[in-house]
Every structure is written in structure tokens, then in C-alpha cells.
Amino acid sequence: MGRFGFCLEVSGPLACFTRPEMKVERVSYDVITPSAARAIYSALLWKPAIRWRIDQIDVLAPIRWINIRRNEVGAVGGETPINAVDNRVQRASLMLRDVRYRLHAHFDFIPPAERPKVYAEAPDWLRPDDPVFTSEAGPDEKPAKYAAMFERRARKGQCFIRPYLGCRECAADFRLVDHPDTEPIQPIPEDRDLGFMLYDLDFSNPQDPQPMFYHAKMTQGVITVPAPDSEEVKR
Amino acid sequence: MSDPIKNRYDFVLLFDVLDGNPNGDPDAGNLPRIDPETGHGLVTDVCLKRKIRNRIQLAQANKPGYDIFIQEKAILNNVMVATGTEHPDPADPSQILPELGTPDSAKGDAKAKGVQDRTTRMCETFFDIRAFGAVLTTKPKAKNKLDYTGGQVRGPIQFTFARSVDPIVTLEHAITRMAVATEEEAEKQSGDNRTMGRKNTVPYGLYAAHGFIVPSFAARTGFSEEDLNVFWNAVKMMFVDDPSAARGTMTVRRLIVFKHDSALGNAQAAELFERVTVKRKDETKPAREYADYEVTVDDKDLPAGITLVPESELGK
């Protein structure tokens, strides 16, 4: 089975990859997390049959910040309407500005028996390029098909949901990069130890997802992301 | 519930402010929000969504399915009291969701289904949950985590921050009032009873916001063509019911909507947004009205499957 690797360039005027230890008054990590990068790939294409893995993150724009304080609602949603004035909290977000990354990723193909259960299957009209696949394996299901679907969507600017950079108000533009090595924009010439960063959530128990962390180091603008089962990923 | 929308939309919203504060910054003593590096004015996504919610609450009062989940107090009282019995009482959950089960009592898949049914009912009742989504928690998280995961709704409509076309200047005005609130204040002033206040305005600013509508979430929340029309109407009218001493004059100037033929979309959103150019006619003079700007939308050779929806057709 071949490995299908892709490279997406994503950018946006704002981004907030919230540090889990500072999420009341949000403070972003310096760079995108593998988890947020995976969500961008999944926003274009995801199936229970595939699992996106981020391999490398290239940081193409200098790391810059902006502080924004907003009135937010402090109450938890129940069954009745929430009064926004009585439940007002003001929260600051230290966000990133004018970000640009190249995200290198591939997907693993999951055998039918190991696939996660899908509660709400998307209707057929939402899967125009995918009439035969469901969460069950189709007779002619091959990883190459998913790779072709992803490539087609990424090239056309199609997305299942609008990808975003950490928070939904930070919408991301994306572009499929065919030859990352020959791109005119190169990663920023900067080394930085980013400390322990969120790697992703471990959904092996879907009712109680556990965070995973890794020690992120940026070398000349490039962050190599370890495999989830490697020793570098701490649970 | 009617059918969910089946097309993707990307839109540009242009609005302006004259002698007002479009969105105060709580971190900066309520000065208009500004990007400190570029001087451009900012209006947050949540500010825009607030106006849309308020507009819908007024315009669609009495209409079942158009309740607003995240309400603002003043409007809540007006509408809810005035509409009387045919409108559900927000303080009484049994009136709003009479068939709501208790997902807590069921087990496993049945529990998940209970959450799903409940989410569906909430979506049917509240316009803003259908459009923007909401986090809905039935029971304390620690006890019942599945309820928590089932109770998050993401809506099809996504707004970004609005940003002014040109850097803005903010003016600070000193104002006086001719009465004081308390006896102590009057004594301090030895009966003069005049205090000074401050007011900050933007003399003029034209702002642009980007928005996205993805039908994949509409399929989950049931956001329909009719809802979409209500939404466009609310966007166009978002400042009509929102005059205040602080806001000055705010007006929606253009709503430029690119419709994709398909659910997944037919073109890059960024390429469509680049077709909208906003330029000052005379760069040497500061802008003080909308007529100082020229807005052009390049609708020639649109990518296959993209239509520019005529503004007159939106929110009729």
C-alpha cells in the first residue's frame, strides 16, 4: 500500500491555537498544533476509513501577536434561552496574526473492523464525489480513491466545512502545494524551542478523550511532528 | 422542517459608520477597536452575530422556530412580554420543549439518540442555534460525558472579524452633563452639579467582513432556504434597530454573495473575495462618506459553478 502524502498551504489574518492551560483568557501557542492542522485536513475530507497524520509544519510568516478582548457568555447552554447580559464575561484572547503555514500530512487507511462508529452519516448530496462509500467498506474501496478525492477537493477549493485556524472566526485560506521545495516562500530562518505543545486528543475512548503532548522544536522554521505512537508523544 | 440548504456560499459584507463607535474595546476604555500595528478598525465576529440575533428577534417575533437562544436582556423583555401566550415562556422549559425526554435515564446508544433528539428540537426552536450553533450541555459533564459530546452544535454560518478598508482615526469628545447621580457628588461639586464625560467616535469608517456558509452543518441543524432568506434580510437590516448614542450612524452598504453550485463548493473562497475591490476615489482626502469610495465586483468570467447573487434577491 502506497503512502499518500500531501502539502497544504494555509493562511489567515488571525489564528488562535489555545493553550489548554490558558483557555479562560485564551493564549495561543506560538504556532499551529498538529491537532488543529489535522482538523484543517479533515475539513476538506474525512471518512471513518482514513486518519490524518501531520508529518511536518513549515512556519512561513513571522510569529506575531494581537490581543483582543470580547464580551462572551459565561453560562452553559441548557434548555432555555440564555440572557447574554446577565451572563456576561469579558475575556481576552492573545491571538496570532497574519499566519501562514505549509502543513505536510498523509492519511492512514483503517480496516473496516477498526473504524469509529458514525452516529450521523452525512446525506448523499453532501458527498457528490462519493456515492458508494459509507462507514462500511465498499467493494472497490482503495486508499488511492480517497487520495484522489482529497486532491480534487483541495485543488478546486472545495471543503466539507470551512477550515479554520484554531477558532471558527479565524477562517483559513488553503491551497494545495504540489512541490513544496520549489515554492517561493520559504520557512522563516528561525530556531525556537516551543516547549511542550498539545499534540492531539486521543479519542480511543470517545467518551473520555485524553490529551497528548509533544516537545515541539522549530528548526529554521520547520517543525517535525512525531508519529502518535512514538516515544516523543507523551500521554 | 423544510430541507436544509444545499449550496455553499461565500460572502462579503460592507458596512460603514459615521461619527460613531461601531465596536468598543473593553481593554481600551471602550475606544473603537483598532489593530495597533496597522491602524485599521476592527469589529468582532461576535458583535456582528449579536446584531443579527437582535434583528431576527424583532423581525421574526411570534414566528415559531425563530426564537433566539442567546438573548440580550432589553430585547428579551420587550418581545417576550409583548407576545403573550402564543409565544413560549423562556422561564418555563416545558413550554418550549414539551416532548423533551431525559436522556440521562437511558443507556448507551439510546442515550446518544436522546441527546440527538434533544439537539434536533433545540435546532428547530432556535434560529441562532440552526445558523451559528451552540454548546448545549444537558447534565454535568463529569457524570455524563456522552451528553456533552452530543450536545455541541456547529452551525453553517461562520463570520470573520470585520476590518476597515483604510486605517481609522478615533476622535475623543469631552461632553458634560447637567445633573449628578448622587447627593455625595452634588456636595463634592458644591452644588454645581456638572460632570464631564468622554465619548469616542470614528468620524468615518468603511468596514468589510467575510462570511462563509457551509451546507454540511446545515444538514445537521436543518438550516433551510427560508432560514437563509431570513438571514440575508437580517444582515441587510442589522443596524436598523440598533441606533444608540454610541453607534452614530451605521449602515450596511453592500452584501456581495457568491453562490456555489454544489455543497462542497466550486472555487477557492479567497479567489472570489479578491473580485471585490474597495478603493478611495481621492486618496489625498480623508473619507467621510460612502460616496468617497468606489466598490467594484468583478463578475466577468466567474469560475464554473459560481453565481453572483443579485443583491435585490437577497432577503426579500
What would the pLDDT profile of B240-256 be if each residue is shown by its tens digit? 988 888 899 999 999 99
pLDDT tens, residue by residue, B254-271 = 999 999 999 999 999 999
CB contact under 8 A, B27 and A126: no
- Which range, of A26-35, A97-106, B239-248, averages the lowest pLDDT? B239-248
pLDDT of amino acid A152: 92
Which stretch of A76-90, A178-192, A217-231 has the lowest confidence by average pLDDT? Answer: A76-90
Nearest-CA distance A207 → chain B (Å):
6
Mean pLDDT of chain B: 82
Q: B209 to chain A: nearest residue by CA?
A: A169
Q: In the structure grid, which three cell numbers stand for residue A98, read together?
A: 497574519
* Distance linking the first and last C-alpha atoms of chain A: 29
Position A231 pLDDT exceeds 70: yes
Tell me the three cell numbers of residue A205.
Answer: 475512548
Query: What proportion of chain B, given as a percentage, has pLDDT over 90?
Result: 55
| Res. A9: pLDDT tops 90 | yes
pLDDT (tens digit, 9 = 90+) per residue, A165-185? 999 999 999 999 999 888 899
Longest dimension (CA), chain B: 74
The shortest C-alpha distance from A20 to chain B (Å) reads: 17
CB–CB contact A80 B90 (8 Å): yes
Helix (H, G, I), strand (E, B) or coil at A26: strand
CA angle A57, A178, A194 (to 5 degrees): 5
> Counting every residue, how long is chain A?
235
> Which residue of B71, B137, B210 is in closest CB contact with A171?
B210
Contact A46, A137 (CB under 8 A): no
Strand partners, A63: none
Give the model's pLDDT for residue B148: 42
Provide the CB-side half-sphere exposure for B173 (13 A, CA): 12
Q: How far is it, in rounded angstroms, from Cα A28 to Cα A129?
A: 36
* Cβ contact B158–A128 (<8 Å): no
CB contact under 8 Å between A79 and B116, yes or no, is: no
Quick one: pLDDT band at residue B65, thresholds 50, 70, 90?
confident
Average pLDDT, integer, range B130-155:
63
Q: In the structure grid, which three cell numbers stand for residue A46, read together?
A: 474525512
Q: At B220, which amino acid appears? A: R
Question: Which of chain B's residues have a Cβ under 8 Å away from the Cβ of A80?
Answer: 90-91, 93, 96
Which chain B residue has the Cα nearest residue A175? B268
pLDDT at B90: 45
* Per-residue pLDDT tens over the stretch B7-35: 999 999 999 999 999 999 988 888 999 99
Check: CB of residue A53 under 8 Å from CB of residue A41: no
Tell me the chain B residues in contact with residue A62 when contact means C-beta distances shorter than 8 Å. Answer: none
Q: Supply the pLDDT for residue A77.
A: 65
pLDDT tens across B107-135, in order?
455 666 666 777 788 888 889 889 998 87
Cell of A118: 458514525
Q: State residue B261 phi and psi, 5-degree precision.
A: -65, -30
- Whether the per-residue pLDDT at B228 is higher than 90: the answer is yes
pLDDT band at B161 (very low <50, low <70, confident <90, very high): very high
ipTM: 0.85
Q: Which of B46, B91, B219 sits opposite A126 (nearest CB)?
A: B219
Q: Greater confidence, A84 or A130?
A: A84
How far, in Å, CA of B253 to CA of A109, rounded?
Answer: 49
pLDDT of B77 strictly over 50: no
How far away is chain A from the Cα of B232, in angstroms, using its nearest Cα? Answer: 19
What is residue A150's three-state secondary structure? helix
From B44, which residue of chain A is nearest by alpha-carbon distance?
A70
C-alpha angle A203-A207-A212 in degrees, rounded to nearest 5: 35
Residues B79-93: what's their mean pLDDT? 39
* pLDDT attached to residue B306: 96
Mean pLDDT of B276-293: 95
Mutation site, A14, A47, A168, A208, interface B, largest B CB count within 10 A: A168
Shortest CA gap A170–chain B (Å): 6
Distance in angstroms (rounded) separating the CA atoms of residues B287 and A145: 54
Please report the pLDDT score of residue B111 as a whole number.
61
Q: Tell me which residue in B73, B93, B212 faces A80 most closely, judged by beta carbons.
A: B93
Determine the residue of chain B that is closest to A161 in CA distance. B214
For A149, the enclosing helix (H) or strand (E) is helix A143-156
Cβ A226 vs Cβ A235: under 8 Å: no
pLDDT at A85: 75
> CA-to-CA distance for A27 and A25, rounded, in angstroms?
7
Mutate to test the interface with B, among A86, A100, A158, A175 (most CBs of B within 10 A): A158
Residue B185's pLDDT is 76
What is the distance between the alpha carbons of residues B171 and B161, in angstroms, rounded to a whole number?
A: 22
Which residue, A78, A76, A79, is CA-closest to B95? A79
Which residue from B minimizes the CA distance to A92? B27
pLDDT at A35 over 60: yes
Task: Return the amino acid letter for B131.
Answer: A
Q: What is the DSSP code (8-state) at residue A126?
A: G
C-alpha cell at A123: 446525506
Nearest-5° Cα angle at A122, A116 to A125:
150
> What pLDDT, on a 0 to 100 scale, did the predictor assign at position A23?
77
Buried-exposed string A90-100: b where 16+ CB fall within 10 A, e elsewhere: eeebbbbbbbb
- Average pLDDT for B174-193: 79
Is B99's pLDDT higher than 50? no
Burial class of residue B6 in the structure, from the number of CB atoms within 10 Å of its CB (0-12 exposed, 13-18 middle, 19+ buried):
middle
Residues in chain B: 316
> Which chain A residues are within 8 Å of B43, Cβ to Cβ?
none
Higher pLDDT: B46 or A132? It is: B46
DSSP letters for chain B: -PPBP-S-EEEEEEEEEEEE-SSEEGGGTTEEPB-TTT-EEEE-HHHHHHHHHHHHHHHTTT-TT-B-SEE-HHHHHHHHHHHGGGSPPTT-HHHH-TT---GGGS-HHHHHHHHHHHHHHHHHHBHHHHHHEEEB--S-TTT-HHHHHHTEEE-SEEE--EEEEEE---EEEEEEES--SSHHHHHHTTT---EEEEEEEEEEEEEEEEEEE-HHHHHHHT-BHHHHHHHHHHHHTTTTT---TTT-EEEEEEEEEEEESSSS-SS-HHHHHTTEEEEES-TTS---SGGGEEEEE--TTPPTTEEEE-GGGTT-
User: What distance in Å separates the CA atoms of residue B243 and residue A36, rounded to the nearest whole number?
Assistant: 39
Question: A102 near A8, Cβ under 8 Å?
Answer: yes
Signed CA dihedral, B13, B242, B28, A24: sign only: negative
Nearest to A84 among B71, B136, B267 (CB): B71
Name the residue of chain B whose CA is nearest to A121's CA. Answer: B220
The answer to whether the CB atoms of A173 and B270 lie below 8 A apart is: yes
Q: What is the overall mean pLDDT for chain A?
A: 87
Q: Which of A40, A153, A169, A170 to mutate against chain B (most B CBs within 10 Å)?
A: A169
Is B205 in contact with B30 (CB distance < 8 Å)? no
Pairwise CA distance, residues A151 & A148, whole Å? 5
pTM of the model: 0.85
Cβ A210 vs Cβ A220: under 8 Å: no
How close is the nearest chain A Cα to the Cα of B90, in Å?
Answer: 6
Most A-contacting residue of B13, B216, B258, B275 (CB-CB within 10 A), to test interface = B216
CA A222/CA B105 separation, integer angstroms: 50
Tell if the CB–CB gap between A77 and B135 is shorter than 8 Å: yes
**Binary contact (B46, A71; C-beta < 8 A):** yes
Q: What integer is the mean pLDDT of A188-216?
A: 89
Mean of pLDDT values over A115-142: 66
